[in-house]
Amino acid sequence: MGAPDGRILLVPAESGGLWLLQPEAGGGALRWFGPARPLQASPAATGPAATDPGRAVGACGDHAVLLTEEGDQLVSLIVAPPEGAGAAPRSAELGRAPALGPLSGASVACLPAADPTGEAALLVGLPGARAGAGAVYRWTIGQTPAPILLGPTAGQLLGGTTIAGHDLNGDGLDDLAVSAWGAMNNAGAVWLIDGPLPPIPADVPDRRYFSRIDGDVAGFALAYAGDTDGDGYGELLVGAHGADHRGWSAGAAYLVDPRGRGPLDRAQATFLGDAANDRAGWSVAGGADVNNDGRADLIIGAPGVDSGAAEAGAVFLRLGGERGVFVLSPASALRAGPSQQAQLGEAVALLPADGGLAFGRARRAPPGTAETPALTRLQPALTPRR
């Protein structure tokens, strides 16, 4: 999962806990929210992560993998959840390599074979590398990172989001989905790479989903959605907060079958931001069944929604199985931001252990308010559909 500098990230861990990477004055913080209800925040990570939280975070089981830089070196850290209440997460260096390119907007995914105590392998997406063409590296710890995908065009920003560890085409092998949200004048695209992963840089894949409209930034957010329609295959949710269907940057999110390809306007479900600057699709999440009907559900963040107050933001829950085009009207939001500029929905996550929802916002809650700063957790209490 990647983020331009200044954006917060939520990364669910296997046990139902959650990692939060939040920019703060002078650096940032990586916090663990344990799976207890309500989510209990730990102090910020100590060690190297406390002074420079890195610019990308991914989950590896219950551990977080963090990328940071030190001089001209790329450093990966593995961070373990804290032991006991009030303790901080514990970080240790996983490996280092000569810098591969700017870390801004980078993403990192843990390959399923990776083992924190053994020979770990990471996928590192660096959209700023190679004059912004971008690249994805496979980094087997202890070895030199090797490129497996190279963006062909400057400004394409390949690697800003990376999805690994899921069989997307149904052949039993794990595949790869990688965004290039700068492609074609920021229209944006998602590359689909069939497993096994290529040993050398692959050509531009045949299978891509893409926007046809400049500035949509499709793939800025990207999530594995799970099987939303019950056909046995998982879908992908592609966020495009720059889409202008209902006003400038009203935004959109597209649910697509990763066995297919083509323009995103042929998505099986399209969710449109309602009004200019809603920025729907800034964040997306999926892969958990919130209402227990056997179909995975979706959440979409729209941090620019003016719901009661300017830029309060909103989070939308869409139950699996929808086909067609839908408008994310503020009245249909699961939760609206509490105050002006709260920008709720800047980060969203679905917790795989129990279908709980978590969503973050860029600004801290005003003093005296009950909400946990930057993060809200909601336990689903929804009736299954018949």
Site for Ca ion, rule CB under 5 A? 167, 169, 171, 173, 175, 195, 227, 229, 231, 233, 289, 291, 293, 295, 297, 320
- Amino acid letter at 107? S
Would you call 11 exposed, middle or buried from its count of C-beta atoms within 10 A (0-12, 13-18, 19+)? buried
Beta carbon nearer to Ca ion, 23 or 321:
321
CB of 169 to Ca ion, least distance (A): 4
User: Which residue, 112 or 366, is less far from Ca ion as judged by CB?
Assistant: 112
> Is the preceding peptide bond at 35 cis, omega within 30 degrees of 0?
no
β-partners of residue 77 are 66, 93
Tokens of 163: 């999805």
Nearer to Ca ion, 243 or 299 (CB): 299
CB of 365 to Ca ion, least distance (A): 30
Residue 174 CB-half CA count within 13 A = 11
**Closer CB to Ca ion, 97 or 382, in the complex:** 382
By beta-carbon proximity to Ca ion, the closer residue of 229 and 278 is 229
**Nearest distance, CB of residue 153 and Ca ion, angstroms:** 27
Neighbours of 72 (CB within 10 A): 7
Residue 26 C-beta: closest distance to Ca ion, Å = 42
Handedness of CA 18, 23, 29, 30 (dihedral sign): positive
**Which residues are within 8 A (CB) of 150 and not within 5 positions of it... i.e. 6 or more apart?**
130, 133, 134, 135, 158, 201
Least separation in angstroms between residue 257's CB and Ca ion is: 7
Write down the least CB distance from residue 278 to Ca ion, Å. Answer: 24
Strand order in the sheet with 221-226: 221-226, 235-240, 252-256, 269-273, 324-328
Q: Which residue's CB is nearer to Ca ion, number 67 or number 296?
A: 296
From residue 226, give the alpha-carbon distance in Å to each of 254, 258, 261, 363: 14, 11, 18, 30
- Least Å from the CB of residue 224 to Ca ion: 11
DSSP helix/strand/coil, 265? helix
Nearer to Ca ion, 166 or 245 (CB): 166
At 117, phi and psi to the nearest 5? -100, -5
Q: Is the peptide bond between 145 and the residue preceding it cis, with omega within 30 degrees of 0? A: no
Question: Which residue, 70 or 231, has its beta carbon nearer to Ca ion?
Answer: 231
Residue matched to tokens 């590896």: 60
Residue 164: CB minimum distance to Ca ion, A:
11
